[in-house]
Structure 1
Amino acid sequence: MIPDKPTTIKEIAKILKISVSTVSRALNDHSSIGLTTKMRVKKLAAELNYEPNQRAIQFLHGKSFVIGVILPELSESFFSAAISGIEDVAYKRNYTVLLAQSHDDAEREKILVAKMKTQRVDGLLVSVSKTTSTYEHFDVFKKSNIPVVFFDRIPPIKDIHYVSSNLETGTFDAVNFLLKKGHRTIGMINGPNTLLASHERKEGYIKAMTANRLKFDPSLILNCDLSEEGTIAAMDTMLNHRRKPTAIVTFNDYVALFAMRYAKSLNLQDIDFVSYANLPIINYMDHTPIASVEQFPYKQGKKAADILIDLINKPKNESGTEQAYYNVIVESELILSNRK
């Protein structure tokens, strides 16, 4: 007969006339409990629809077995791939993922960080919003000795754990590729200055131009907010430049899509575009970038989750001195388009 209320370990112990600790150990396959006793306990537990008290387990281990994830937009293929990597690791290591989206809003991100703390997550994975310019809201985790690992969009601050793609070398390869194709006036529609990734792209651009003994023209690099309107505004400025670019490097595939669609509306078909992320959407474009920098989002998410759970399970540093920080760089790769 199925009981009306959840069965407890005490009730199982009473029916079998054994101690509560014996039942607990039997349910957890403790080596000190004989096979016969384990089978009796598990059989009765199944008959009574016993379910472990998660709160009691969390209290016993001092963990919630939940990790928080805050990312800009799950609708973007890049972050969908990253969350797949995170969830695969969490599943294998018996953790649950609590997911939230900042929608690229710094104030929303701050609220979400506070809520994650209230939900008592064991650790936090974050890809910061494009409007985030201060990072004090993460201090609440540091003060509580709860690990935070940033991935992809990482803040430009010291003493943090992070996993990111090598965008500087990826940009160098992209610009160098365009130069080898004969382009000499190359524009860049970059992201917001608040993102470290924007600075890394700029550095890669400058190094590629310098390596090819070409003068760097800072007016050919424009920042935008990554929206379609922002991209179009940047394109207007770029197309009216005294040195009209014959090729443009865009912050990501979405910006490339906005830019190419706008160029097409102006009957400009002779501009070559290179983007980042190498997302599946580029396979459905009428006019695709001639190359895209692969940033391996699944790999980034997987590695970040592994690091976070390792940090959660790592013995606390009793000396009070800070342990070494994980700074993992995933090498990017320039992927050439299959278009003819």
Structure 2
Amino acid sequence: MADKQPTIKEIAKRLNISVSTVSRALHNHPSIGLRTKTRVQQLAKELNYEPNQTAIFFQQRKTFTLGVILPKLAESFFSSAISGIEEVANKNNYTVLMGQSHDDVEREKQIVNAMKKHRVDGLIVSISKNTETYEHFESLKNANIPVVFFDRIPNTYDIHYVACNMLSGTIQAINYLLKKGHRVIGMINGPENLVATADRKEGYIQAMLKNRLKFDPSLIVNSDLSAESTYEATQKLLSHKRKVTAIVAFNDYVAMDAMHYAQQKKVRINKDVWFVSYANLPLTTYLKYQPAASVEQFPYIQGQKATQMLLELLNKKEENEEKTDPIHYKIIVDSKLVIYDENA
């Protein structure tokens, strides 16, 4: 049977002082004299006393835990983001409780509910590709749990979020291909409910029109991000009535699937058809075939900024608990096109 953990009451009884005096002494409160502090802290050390975290959390009404919900940690984009989140959280004495939705809406809802039961102080979320309604996040307002979204954000205005400028990134990508002489450029876009999908499409349209080229909507094909869906999208573009010479893919994983399909059809990568994508994942440098360029989305920075934003919201809640702040914070991180072969 394990030994019973010593308590503040036991220390107080042995030293014949009050429980509140022991508590203040353990927290180095200035109202307690040096001799009393020394006696209390010495006895606590001898007894191997450890603070009751549950009691502390109850007293402070916070658990110093941040919840994080991501689609897939296996994707290096999200593993980089979680590193940024943990860095800021750890510096501020918070721990991180993480869940993966695996792009399953029902699983996402279950994790939100579990985070609520675990009494996380706040939540950082990148939604699943299939999330179209947001009631499960709305329910957190009643529990007074602030939420910050990043990268994949809900299509609604009343949220706090951090995102990368996909509009600018797409314009950079299209302009790069146009400068290389491409005029018939296809796009394998993502699920239609994602804000990032709409931003990519808008960037494509703006770049084409600014260069006095007609926008052909049939050159944009959506994928649900699975390999099968991407193969189908690639097939549509390669068999298009207009000869497609370049394809912009939703991300590096989609680009890899599209290039794999193209190779099977004897298409020479970045010769017959050029590929440009998003995310600038490190693994692309080890591939035999890689996109000619990729839009850097800075996931580590997004993770850092999302955590900083959430901590600011928690501090504001603590300082001004009785008032509701209608302001919703947003941060847009600049994107940057990274060209892998300047001589291509």
- Fold match (TM-score > 0.5): yes
Q: Contact 1:162–1:326 (CA<8 Å) still a contact in 2?
A: yes
Shift, 1:268, TM fit: 0.6
Query: Distance in 2 between the 1:273 and 1:312 partners?
Result: 43
Q: Secondary structure at the match of 1:94?
A: coil
Residue identity opposite 1:183 in structure 2: H
Q: Contact 1:317–1:323 (CA<8 Å) still a contact in 2?
A: no
Counting aligned pairs with the same residue, the percent is 62
Partner of 1:309: 311
Query: Distance in 1 between the 2:92 and 2:109 partners?
Result: 28
Q: Contact 1:150–1:162 (CA<8 Å) still a contact in 2?
A: yes
Specify every segment of 5 or more residues in structure 2 that has no aligned partner in the other structure, as ranges. Answer: none
Query: Distance in 2 between the 1:35 and 1:221 partners?
Result: 73
Query: Distance in 1 between the 2:93 and 2:232 partners?
Result: 47
Shift, 1:317, TM fit: 5.0
The answer to whether 1:102 aligns with 2:101 is: yes
Greater Cα shift, 164-173 or 24-33: 24-33
Q: Contact 1:165–1:332 (CA<8 Å) still a contact in 2?
A: yes
Q: Contact 2:68–2:123 (CA<8 Å) still a contact in 1?
A: yes
Residue identity opposite 2:185 in structure 1: I
Query: Distance in 1 between the 2:290 and 2:34 partners?
Result: 63
Q: Contact 1:273–1:289 (CA<8 Å) still a contact in 2?
A: yes
Partner of 2:21: 22
Residue identity opposite 1:205 in structure 2: Y
Residue deviations 1:142-179, cap 9 Å, x none? 12222010001000101100000000000010001100
Query: Distance in 2 between the 1:109 and 1:239 partners?
Result: 36
Query: Distance in 2 between the 1:13 and 1:142 partners?
Result: 41
Shift, 1:319, TM fit: 4.1
Partner of 1:318: 322
Q: Which structure 1 residue ranges, 4+ long, deviate > 3 Å from structure 2? A: none
- Provide TM-score, normalisation by structure 1: 0.96
Greater Cα shift, 176-185 or 258-267: 258-267
Query: Distance in 1 between the 2:91 and 2:158 partners?
Result: 28
Q: Contact 2:8–2:22 (CA<8 Å) still a contact in 1?
A: yes
Query: Distance in 1 between the 2:35 and 2:253 partners?
Result: 61
Q: Secondary structure at the match of 2:99?
A: strand
1:92-241 maps to which residues of 2 (within 5 A)? Answer: 92-241=91-240
Q: Contact 1:27–1:42 (CA<8 Å) still a contact in 2?
A: yes
Query: Distance in 1 between the 2:209 and 2:261 partners?
Result: 30
Q: Secondary structure at the match of 1:6?
A: coil
Greater Cα shift, 309-318 or 211-220: 309-318
The answer to whether 1:337 aligns with 2:337 is: no
Specify every segment of 5 or more residues in structure 1 that has no aligned partner in the other structure, as ranges. Answer: none
Greater Cα shift, 57-66 or 137-146: 137-146
Greater Cα shift, 190-199 or 136-145: 136-145
Q: Secondary structure at the match of 2:57?
A: helix
Residue identity opposite 2:150 in structure 1: F
Q: Contact 2:116–2:143 (CA<8 Å) still a contact in 1?
A: no
Q: Secondary structure at the match of 1:99?
A: strand
Q: Secondary structure at the match of 1:328?
A: strand
Query: Distance in 1 between the 2:101 and 2:218 partners?
Result: 31
C-alpha RMSD of the superposition: 1.3
Query: Distance in 1 between the 2:36 and 2:259 partners?
Result: 69
Q: Contact 1:70–1:100 (CA<8 Å) still a contact in 2?
A: yes
Q: Contact 2:293–2:338 (CA<8 Å) still a contact in 1?
A: yes
Q: Secondary structure at the match of 1:7?
A: coil
- Provide TM-score, normalisation by structure 2: 0.95
Shift, 1:76, TM fit: 0.4
1:41-80 maps to which residues of 2 (within 5 A)? Answer: 41-80=40-79
Shift, 1:318, TM fit: 2.5
Partner of 2:287: 285
Q: For residues 106 and 273 of structure 1, do their structure 2 counterparts lie closer, same or farther at Cα, with a shift above 3 Å needed?
A: same
Shift, 1:297, TM fit: 0.4
Partner of 1:245: 244
Residue identity opposite 1:280 in structure 2: P
Partner of 2:258: 259
Shift, 1:38, TM fit: 2.5
Q: Contact 1:65–1:121 (CA<8 Å) still a contact in 2?
A: yes
Q: Contact 2:124–2:149 (CA<8 Å) still a contact in 1?
A: yes
Greater Cα shift, 44-53 or 191-200: 44-53
Residue deviations 1:169-194, cap 9 Å, x none? 00010001100110000000000001
